A and B are shown apart, each in its own frame.
Chain A
């Protein structure tokens, strides 16, 4: 009698462990799928993207570059600016407002695609961005509270 309930408990325990393994395997599968389709080439730098412009067409990818300060313009709900990497400059139009830390000179990763149509070089280099992510570097600089803030007008 006691043996029987003991065996039942053991069996239930075994089933429970296999359910846990099953769930973990499914999660691992999802993670590996997302990793293989996103992480291997998480972004292309602006000059890589321009070099691959023909191949990229108007498909969605992530592009990386530094925001050129003098180019930032806000128009209604859109933000216009250019990013650079090396000597390459890519003009960007972003729908919606950028995140808090968006500022001149900061490196950003943009999700979006090149615009259709012809630009000066045959194909348009305008990048239509749906999301701006700020790429913080590993450098930290102490802010000086007494320093006079430069207000750009």
Chain B
């Protein structure tokens, strides 16, 4: 199963060679990319906290609660557009014969996992903000209902990924399920325009991209989005490493089994 994984590190290499596997393990353990992403995630998170709590002003109506602006939209953008966008793109790259590689299937799955985490955070932070602003934790308006539907659809996608089958059948099934779930993303985006909702319309991703927030607030939202993006990239890198280690572990298992068999003869 795991041998289907095609990665740059393992491709075109004799994987049944213990030295080659050692080299992969060493390279992974000392990955500079991973530490860079981790460190910059923490730095931007701290920067967001500092800008959000100490630099930006209160809002005239919302008061102090306006600071949820630097958490809720960045988490929602990262879930809908970055994470689920990557899943959709990677699924298309699997389905397109010229770019077909199991690498894309793994990327699609990893990004959807992070997307589901972010979307759950979107609903939680939104609920807290709703209680302080609207006065209710939840209401059945189109934006909220469709976002909950989106969470169920992507949980369904992750469940589809657990179904049995040959590697090729699984990857194709996953990709089709991903495209099906992705239909709801633009519907969530435009829900505040298409229907009467309690949820407000966009403040940044407006038609024409006219900010409806003061610049300092908009920039802090930007730093917040940079943070959620870096955390996504960091988690993607770690997830990739896990897949790589799984492959290596399987190869080592095979090598040991071969050696055991040889000693028996």
- How far does the Cβ of A101 sit from chain B's closest Cβ, in whole Å? 6
Contact with B along A39-62 (1 / 0, CB 8 A): 111111000000000000000000
Chain B residue numbers with a CB within 8 Å of A106 are 61
Q: Does B197 contact A (CB under 8 A)?
A: yes
Query: Which parts of B147-164 form the interface with A (CB within 8 Å)?
Result: 148-149, 152-153, 155-156, 159, 162-164
Chain A residue numbers with a CB within 8 Å of B164 are 10, 13-14
- How far does the Cβ of A20 sit from chain B's closest Cβ, in whole Å? 5
Q: A39-B140, A140-B66, A140-B203 in contact; A28/B61 too (CB < 8 A)?
A: no
Chain A residue numbers with a CB within 8 Å of B203 are 138-140
Kindly state the interface size class of chain A when it binds its partner: 35 or more
Q: Does A136 contact B (CB under 8 A)?
A: yes
Q: How many Å lie between the Cα of A110 and that of B63 in the bound state?
A: 23
Q: Does B212 contact A (CB under 8 A)?
A: yes
Q: Does A125 contact B (CB under 8 A)?
A: no
Report whether B200 and A138 are in contact in the complex, using a CB–CB cutoff of 8 Å.
yes
Report whether A141 and B60 are in contact in the complex, using a CB–CB cutoff of 8 Å.
yes
Report whether B135 and A141 are in contact in the complex, using a CB–CB cutoff of 8 Å.
no
Q: A21-B156, A100-B135, A101-B133 in contact; A138/B202 too (CB < 8 A)?
A: yes
Report whether A133 and B139 are in contact in the complex, using a CB–CB cutoff of 8 Å.
yes
Report whether B135 and A140 are in contact in the complex, using a CB–CB cutoff of 8 Å.
no
Chain A interface, DSSP helix/strand/loop, else mixed: mixed
Report whether B133 and A140 are in contact in the complex, using a CB–CB cutoff of 8 Å.
no
Contact with B along A106-117 (1 / 0, CB 8 A): 100100000000
Report whether A40 and B57 are in contact in the complex, using a CB–CB cutoff of 8 Å.
no
Report whether B134 and A43 are in contact in the complex, using a CB–CB cutoff of 8 Å.
no
- How far does the Cβ of A16 sit from chain B's closest Cβ, in whole Å? 8
Nearest first, the 8 closest Cβ-Cβ pairs linking A and B are A99-B135, A38-B140, A39-B142, A142-B57, A35-B145, A143-B58, A141-B60, A140-B213
Given contacts A13-B162, A39-B145, A44-B196, list 14 more A-B pairs with CB under 8 A. A24-B152, A27-B152, A31-B149, A34-B140, A38-B140, A42-B196, A100-B132, A101-B135, A109-B198, A133-B136, A135-B200, A140-B217, A142-B60, A143-B58
> B residues bordering A, Cβ < 8 Å?
57-63, 66, 69, 132-136, 139-142, 145-146, 148-149, 152-153, 155-156, 159, 162-164, 195-198, 200-203, 206, 212-214, 216-217
